A and B are shown apart, each in its own frame.
Chain A
């Protein structure tokens, strides 16, 4: 058994065939049995399977692209559950993006941020205010709501505004460390929510607790984006952008300086890493992902109010990062997907099923114990279990593996240039003997 498993692990062809069969079966079953959430989840988990194959990165991305762009929407589109599946997929994308942003701050730079949802709120309100008549209350010029075409620019604006809020928060807050930082960011998250909740007087900017309703839907080439199946593609594009950005940063000078600051601030400074600038950059870049998704969220819900941005949301995103693996990009993606699906699908499905059993009289449990009401309990249990058995998360962070041969070749290649300053050992020894 073990040797077969080993063989399979090395055999790309076998992996390819298995993956193909898996995707084929799950997509067919989703196509035939529209109501089966299991089929939907199994099809999604083919991406996890894909992650563990030995294919080249480009191949992996291509297969993932085909599954996400064509297969998933197509196979799910055969019935009335289509929009609810796409709703889940869209929310998964939004949460992954945010978790990746928070991962930069918490996982890579090691700054515990408990108010991360504030940047999401900033993004959402940025679009919400200007895509409704709300902005007319305080803007001296222009006519509001803005047209649906402006949505595309607002993704960028939301990104920048959130980044600026990240900087504004960072400048005073980064003087404190560790637990103190966590408390201050928690306070910031609540302050932002309460400000949005109360900014209807003296000038009505956010419409207070009533929220901002009927946000203009995005529009492209005369088509309005109204359904989750359409937002799904917007989210997919932004998500792809965030993943690429994070990957690029992770293995660059900037990513290394983030990790250096996390590992040892004093040593990082002694190596020339500017502490404040590096931390601020992490805050701003992390926040900007959240801001972009905030804009999409506002457009998708067509309604923004402060209750979407509570402390529990911040903690949920943090749990995604911890569950997936702090600092690990694939881990955080998985963590966010698992948490969102658990929340939206698994818990509600189990509740529905129990209700059914209740009504048919097979067996009865009190309403207070229904799983959808025990979300926090389940999060808590999950966290405890993970702390005990997988403290580094589902897919722990790995360092980039450098190719030694390539580096050796590089050494011999620029022999004439770089090595001049570093003579061979034998030469040194000779020199010393003389």
Chain B
């Protein structure tokens, strides 16, 4: 069953076409990878799904609901959460607070309730703190809960971004180059984390990644973009042997190595 459908998505910035007629269908509970050389329009594609950019033409459907025209925070409410290629944490806030911001849409407290510190609000606040702490335990950052986010190591910041995105209880999780800048050990841990998340949170994951080992290991479906256009899609094995993809992105060495 498909959860996310993208139909003929095109984005033009002035004379430059960042995405041209991109279509894809994402199965529920699957892991899909979007790959392609730098400047292929992968992040633009993510930005259109999350409402940061409005597509020039085309349609995006989440469980048959239109996402076109929604603001980013409304898209988030519909159940799409994301991480960013260049980490965007709330750097002066503590690690736990970062996750708590992720819960924003699920905390019901209003202006009056907060002002009078009603018991229900206090209870809700405590419960969300506990939940945030559990998420930190889950990604292995629990001991650092009161640390400022900017003081974390690079890999820890990436994991915190994932925890923050999970806090929003998304249906679809978009990961923009989650392994960028990680060493092989960290990448391996991340791979396991993504697999675990998918099962335990019953999530659909779409990721952009350049680390082919990670991509081939975890994704069930791969979409290849080049110059803003989709040049191939299919199972990892097919993509690896697709001559078009090899020419545009993987290079001949990958085939021999693989």
Contacts and interface: CB of A to CB of B under 8 A. Distances in A.
26 contacts: A254-B111, A256-B93, A259-B93, A260-B93, A260-B101, A260-B104, A264-B88, A264-B91, A267-B84, A267-B90, A268-B90, A269-B73, A270-B52, A270-B76, A270-B84, A270-B88, A272-B76, A273-B104, A274-B73, A399-B93, A399-B94, A410-B129, A421-B200, A422-B138, A422-B200, A423-B200
Interface stretch (A9-17, A148-156, A244-252, A337-345): A244-252
Chain B: interface residue count, which band?
35 or more
A268 B72 CA distance: 9
A252 B109 contact: yes
B42 interface: no
B145 interface: yes
Interface stretch (A25-33, A293-301, A352-360, A400-408): A400-408
Given A263-B91, A267-B84, A422-B134, A273 B101 contact: yes
B81 to A, nearest CB: 7
A108 to B, nearest CB: 11
Interface stretch (A127-135, A136-144, A411-419): A411-419
A245 B116 CA distance: 9
Contact of B97 (A248, A262, A399): A399
B233 interface: no
B71 interface: yes
A271 B168 contact: yes
Interface in B52-96: 52, 71-73, 76-77, 81-82, 84, 88-94, 96
Contacts of B142: 404
Nearest to A419: B134
Q: How many interface residues does chain A have, given as a range?
A: 35 or more
B130 interface: yes
B145 A402 contact: yes
B196 interface: yes
Looking at chain B's contact residues, is the secondary structure mostly helix, strand, loop, or mixed? helix
A402 B94 contact: yes
A402 B96 contact: yes
Interface of A: 245, 248-249, 252-254, 256-257, 259-260, 262-264, 266-275, 281, 397, 399-402, 404, 407-408, 410-411, 414, 418-419, 421-423, 428
Contacts of A260: 90, 93, 101, 104
Contacts of A418: 130-131, 134
B117 interface: yes
A408 B96 CA distance: 13
Contacts of B111: 254, 281
B73 A273 contact: yes
Given A252-B109, A271-B76, A402-B145, A411 B133 contact: yes
B88 A253 contact: no
Interface in B107-146: 107, 109, 111, 114-115, 117, 121, 125-127, 129-131, 133-134, 137-138, 142-143, 145-146
Nearest to A284: B111
